[in-house]
Amino acid sequence: MFPQAQPIYPVSGIRTIEARVGAQAQPTLMERAGRASAEEAVRLTQDRAGQVLIACGPGNNGGDGFVMARRLLQAGRPVTVAFADDPAKLPPDAAAALAAWRAAGGETVSDFPAAPANGWALVVDALFGIGLRRPVSGRYATWIDALNAQPAPRLAIDIPSGLDADTGRVLGTVFHATATLTFLALKPGLLTLDGPDIAGVVHLHRLDIDPAAWLAPMGMQIQPGLVRQLMKSRLQNTHKGCYGDVGIVGGARGMTGAALLAGRAALKLGTGRVLIGLVDDAGPAVDFNQAELMLQRPEDVLEQANVLALGPGLGRSTAAAALVEQAARSNKPIILDADALNLVAASEVLKSLIAAREAPTLMTPHPGEAGRLLGTDTANVQADRVASTLKIAGSYQALVVLKGSGSVVTYPDGRWLINSTGHPGMASAGMGDVLTGLIASLVAQGWPAESALLAAVHLHGAAADRLAREGIGPIGLTASEVAEASRGVFNGWIVQAGKGR
């Protein structure tokens, strides 16, 4: 769907690819996965002598572990394999891998082994992969706790045991990986919700297969390469009218700052003119820290701007609802955030107006707002972030970003992407307002709504990441700083894409 993006497949997609590649693949996929795992283990233990502990489970993930063990042994690395299940119940490939391990002189222990005197060089989780079906409990939970307690690097094979590959939810006890080597393609669970906290550094090994050649990508990762290809150069012979008029409507009493932050972000990303309509009559008439912003009556802003962003600090008054309705009835692109989303969720009239719009509607809910839009609660939204976001996009015929760990971007036609930038320092007031301003700016500058949304989401996180690298955050990072840094990151991307002047 977007060239140069990394495909993501849920378990159903991975299973389809495996079935299509077929058992006839030589070497077998398990042999390839085990070999890649052994190579990864060698890399991770370059400066650490000692034994590698591989804990193998009852399915093909365990099979990968047996192949890995054999490869490491053949490379002269001492390995301990822990396996406590019934060999007769292993699936055929894994049973063959166990037999090959034994034929190579390897042994297995069925109790969790005591660490050697100098500790393990590496502990490897080959307990459960994409076949995990229920919360991990009992012996395997004890083993996972024991693996987590070792003072050694921790490598997860395919996906950390206890992490749901489709949703990033933790099912019972979970292996806390320092690195995960995942096969064939990325899975959503590695990239969203708890996945990024649990999986450590994720390496992908495609096993010499191009997954997209076997099954059209089901989702995509938003990565620098994808965003860079969207960059455009500016012509010399242009003026501010070429870069759009963003209108921000929000800023009820006590929340003026939210609208100003969105406006400043829109300005710093190159919007021609930024108009701000504060709902608070007693609000300021000028932003003395950003005098370029044009503060006007909200009704006039809706009239004059060609892209409308409603929500930052909007509140839920009757007047606010009327403004959202006026925007929804317009034929302009609109971005709905914060209380604009809450107002829509609470009104059947607004819901049907939004769903029937012809101009693009973009929505930027956090999980709580997403819950209200779907008539459910936050926990339900988070239980499957991709599915929830797709549901909103479908019901409201909108382009949607569900914010949070691994922001999910979806379009009404069912395409979805997961962002790869950002960090927990962004969990602070005003960050969402800045994102809204960035999105509005790109739309106003003529970007197609779908590219504007994914690029702004990526930029927002990339700016925060850059600041964190410079020591400005993660802790204490402010939204104003992210708005400011977005400008530098974006200009850098234009230069990297060869589109600078």
Ligand X SMILES: NC(=O)C1=CN([C@@H]2O[C@H](COP(=O)(O)OP(=O)(O)OC[C@H]3O[C@@H](n4cnc5c(N)ncnc54)[C@H](O)[C@@H]3O)[C@@H](O)[C@H]2O)[C@@H](O)CC1
Residues placed in the known binding site:
60-64, 125, 129-135, 140, 158, 161, 258, 313, 366, 403-407, 432-433
User: Does the footprint of ligand X cover residue 129 (CB under 6 A)?
Assistant: yes
Enumerate residues 6+ apart whose C-beta is below 8 A from 83.
55, 56, 62, 66, 98, 108, 109, 110
* 469: contact with ligand X by CB under 6 A: no
Q: Is 364 in the site for K ion (CB under 5 A)?
A: no
Q: List all residues 6 or more positions away from 284 whose beta carbon is below 8 Å from its beta carbon.
A: 256, 278, 295
Closest of 138, 71, 60, 75 to residue 100, by C-alpha: 71
Three-state secondary structure along 29-41? HHHHHHHHHHHHH
Determine contact, residues 443/335, Cβ cutoff 8 Å. yes
- 337 touching K ion, by CB under 5 A: no
Cβ-based nearer residue to ligand X, 40 or 64:
64
- In the bound state with ligand X, the residue whose beta carbon lies nearer, of 18 and 433, is 18
Q: How far is the CB of 210 from ligand X (least distance, A)?
A: 15
Q: How far is the CB of 37 from ligand X (least distance, A)?
A: 9
Closer of 158 and 369 to ligand X (Cβ): 158
Could you tell me which residues are annotated as the binding site for (6S)-NADPHX?
A: 60-64, 129-135, 140, 158, 258, 313, 366, 433
DSSP 87: G
164 binding K ion? (CB under 5 A): no
29-44 helix and 60-74 helix, angle to the nearest 10 degrees = 60
Our finding on whether 29 is near ligand X (CB under 6 A) is yes
Nearer of residues 30 and 307 to ligand X, judged by Cβ = 30
Query: Mask of contacts with ligand X, 43-62, x by CB under 6 A?
Result: --------------xxxxxx
Cα 201 from chain centroid (whole Å):
14
**Coil vs helix vs strand at 203:** strand
Tokens of 186: 């990325």
At closest approach, how far in Å is the CB of 153 from K ion?
15
d(CA 193, CA 104): 41
State the nearest-atom distance from the C-beta of 190 to ligand X, in Å: 12
Tokens of 290: 């950003």
SS3 443: helix
125: contact with K ion by CB under 5 A: yes
Q: Which of 121, 130, 267, 354 binds ligand X (CB under 6 A)?
A: 130
**Which one of 37, 60, 161, 221 is in contact with K ion (CB under 5 A)?**
161
Q: How far is the CB of 112 from ligand X (least distance, A)?
A: 16
Q: Is 304 left (phi over 0), alpha (psi -120 to 50) or beta?
A: alpha
Cα–Cα distance between 194 and 211 in angstroms, integer? 25
3-state class (DSSP) for residue 456: helix
- The residues that bridge with 109 in the sheet, in sequence order, are 82
Residue 37 binds K ion, judged by CB under 5 A = no
Q: Name which of K ion, ligand X, none residue 132 binds, using a CB cut-off of 5 to 8 Å depending on partner kind.
A: ligand X
Binding site for ligand X (CB under 6 A): 18, 29-30, 33, 57-64, 91, 128-134, 136, 140, 157-158, 183
Binding site for K ion (CB under 5 A): 61, 125, 156-157, 161
